[in-house]
Structure 1
Amino acid sequence: MPTDAIGPGTTLSRDLGPRTIGPDHRRSGTRYGARVDAREELRALSAAVLAVTARQSVREVLQTIVSAARRLLDARYAALGVPDEDTGAFAEFVVDGISDAQWNAIGPLPRQHGLLAVLLRDPAPLRLADIRSHPRFEYWPKHHPELRDFLGMPIVHGEEILGALYLANKRGGEFDRDDEDLLRILAGHAAIALVNARLYERSRELSVLEERDRIARELHDSVAQKLFGLRLTADAAAALVTRDPERAAAQIATVRALAGEAADELRAIVVGMRPADLEHEGLDAALGKQARLLDRVHAARVRLRADPVPRLAPECEDAAYRVAQEALHNALRHASARTVEIRLFLDGAALVVEVRDDGSGLRPTDQASLGLTSMRDRAGAVGGRLTVESEPGQGTRVRLEVPVG
């Protein structure tokens, strides 16, 4: 396709003249049969429709549509352009009827100018008996095929123009109203493909953000606590190594165990797995092991009081475990608590996890911290309810209620 209909250029402009130039030839049954039979037209339309719903790249779908347009309208050349508003060029530009050698000889991708700009700014189709007669025609570069009659159709979604279809040099005559109607149908399929691609890209970006947030929460809730405990235990071992080698060796063994658990947790976070203790033994056993570990490596007294509780859905157990971990982390690292108690019990139709401490309590600014935000997000994700009660100097109570069943 030409530079002016498809090639590089300079200025953007709007069409100031009438949108249809040249006679409106009506297609007779004989003419239509000579161009393409009804069965071929149906097959080409079907291919274009199926391409929109198939798991193909956007470029493959657009190529199917532009190829179908050229065959159905019996045109020598066809192209489809999707503009890039940031650069003034095209994000996508596919052609049909031009060989690779011809396309390479034409040169760089076209920019938005001339008739290309008209169709990207005005939602009305443009049908010309001679493309060179239009006031916005500019030129085409060397090696570009010479064009005569022309049919352009904007690709519209709502009030937004997503791109345009361009056809030129109809065999055996000029483009007519029937061609225009058929091209409008194909432009509608192209709009669906482009909107779907846009939605897919947005959903992919959202998935990336959600995964990043998940990893940040997991690192904060789990691995950070393990590393903090590991550092405390290593400090204790260093202090004992000269005066009590036996106790120092025990502390070093704990360091090794903590390092192994941190590595396991990190691997689990990367692949989205649940903690191994929670997966195999249940919430009460996993919290019991966590309490014993923290009691061993911290000066504070950490205890679990657990009633018999049923196994819950994996996502509910995981949320309860992580909320308890975060509450313990806050109590031991930030609140300087002397005693911390975890309670696990049933209250009607809800499983309750409570973490109470006698530490310094929360400051007003702590309500917006990553830890509390993470706990609230986890509770909400499983239909649970989180309450946090705290007074300066009077400790904190974190209570999570998760529906059973």
Structure 2
Amino acid sequence: RIGHLPRGLGVLGALIDDPEPVRREHLADDPRSAGFPAHHPPMDSFLGVPIRVRDEVYGNLYLTDRADGPFSPEDEELLTSLAAAAGVAIDNARLFGESERRQGWALAQAEIASALLDEDGDDPLGLIASSVIRLTDASVVAVVARTPSGAFATEDAWGEDAADYVGRVFSAEETPAAGVIAS
């Protein structure tokens, strides 16, 4: 069983500090070669390149111990191209996710506006709560109001075990809401 997780030391740390490709025929010959955990498999040849997403380093790709000799400049070029493609794919996935979230919030706003304008429509507060649960992956959404004594009381709740929250009273000092309301 291998010891600790990588800590960004040695050659791996060099890739983090100076995100440029590193190609070594014998990793042990590099003065930065250090930090391997106990029981780590031995490594001889090494090729590492950064993965960039919009000019920011996102991670790194590492290859070790090429079967038929040291890594070549062509291997480095190929791995650099693969890292660039990975960076584009990561960026596209992030952009797609953000687009999906925006679309979800826009649809929720339209549904809520429609419910507010329709006297016989859905319960707007319940619609807001269900939208927040769906769009934020929250497990519970609660309506909390300040009591005359300055505490907070849960007036209504939606989601997992929502009934367990209704009627709970919290002192103002023990809730994150206290700082929000005070400001």
Quote the residue 2:38 is aligned against.
Answer: 142
Q: TM-score, normalised by structure 2?
A: 0.58
Distance 1:158 1:109, change over 3 A: same
Distance verdict in 2 for CA 1:211–1:123, change over 3 Å: same
Q: Distance in 1 between matches of 2:29 and 2:7?
A: 21
Q: List per-residue Cα deviations over 1:81-125 (Å, max 9, x = no partner).
A: xxxxxxxxxxxxxxxxxxxxxxxx335653444332322343321
Question: Does 2:15 correspond to 1:119?
Answer: yes
The aligned runs of 1:273-352 (5 Å cut-off) are: none
1:122-160 residue CA offsets vs partner (Å, 9 max, x unmatched): 332101122233333222223321111100111234522
- Residue identity (%): 34
Pick closer, same or farther for the CA change 1:134–1:185 going to 2, 3 Å: same
Match runs of 1:348-359 below 5 Å: none
Q: Give distance in 2, aligned partners of 1:132 and 1:204.
A: 47
For 1:203, which of 86, 94, 99 is the aligned residue? 99
RMSD of aligned residue pairs (Cα, Å): 2.6
Residue type at the aligned position of 2:99: S
**1:266 is aligned to 2:162:** no
Of the candidates 47, 56, 76, which is equivalent to residue 180 of structure 1?
A: 76
Q: Indicate if the aligned counterparts of 2:53 and 2:90 stay in contact, CA closer than 8 A.
A: no
TM-score (normalised: structure 1) = 0.28
The Cα of 1:161 is off from its aligned counterpart by 1.8
Shift in Å at residue 189 of structure 1?
1.5
Q: Contact 1:165 / 1:187 at 8 angstroms: preserved in 2?
A: yes
Match of 2:114 in 1: 218
Q: How does 1:60-209 map to 2 (within 5 A)?
A: 105-106=1-2, 109-209=5-105
Deviations 1:152-211 (A, max 9, x none): 111234522222110001112111111111112211211121111111221122123223
Q: Between Structure 1 and Structure 2, whose CA radius of gyration is higher?
A: 1
Aligned length: 125
Q: Which runs of 5+ in 1 are unaligned?
A: 1-104, 227-261, 271-405
Q: Which sections of structure 2, spanning at least 5 residues, go unmatched? A: 128-183
Note the alpha carbon deviations across 1:201-232, whole angstroms, 9 max, x for none: 2112212322332233123222xxx2xxxxxx
| 8 Å CA contact retained: 1:121, 1:161 | no
